[in-house]
Amino acid sequence: METIDISRKGRGRALRTAWNETDAEMSIYMDVDLSTDLAAIPLAVAELRGGADIVTGSRTRADSNITRCFKREFLSRAYNRLIRMVLGTRCFDDAQCGFKGVRIETVRPLLTLVENEDWFFDTELLVLAEYAGLEIRTLPITWVEDADTRVNIPRTILQDLRGVTRLRLHGRSTASGFRRPTQGP
């Protein structure tokens, strides 16, 4: 296994760097606090092998098993509703869930269109992928909130609102130039 050193913080920066440097066929990541049960990994691999370009966990599905406080549940549901209403997305229902899998050959070219280097990276990637016509599949997960979160919620909300505004204004035109890589033999 290869180690990649990333000197600056940022979820998006780390994922972009890893996905651009890997020679793997697919990549699955989850938040470092391991809130998502590891049993989701083989399900994600199966979906990626079955033709999905991106697989995302969902804490909002009825068949997910979630433990989290009311405040974070409320904020998450409000955020995801905002994404659907303002950006018109339909292929995913939990943009910020910290469990995702990607097929590298499909997602790597899309990374040049994603501007955010931090927490909004996930949302921006999913929105642009949907606009570009990629296959996004959602999985139910078992997820337990880490009460010791380091996320600065007010700062993250402000950053996300800026990102949503940018995608509302330019997202569809940005994704219109994306061409899905052709499958190899």
Active-site residue, 122 included: yes
Pick the catalytic residue from 122, 146, 148, 160. 122
Q: What token pair was written down for 8?
A: 């600056």
d(CA 65, CA 126): 23
* Measured CA angle at 11 (ends 10, 13), to 5 deg: 65
Q: Is 126 helix (H, G, I), strand (E, B) or coil?
A: helix
- If phi > 0 it is left, if psi is from -120 to 50 it is alpha, else beta; for residue 133 that is left
Residue 44's H or E segment, with its range, is: helix 40-49
Cα–Cα nearest to 99, from 63, 59, 49, 145: 59
Residues serving a catalytic function are 122
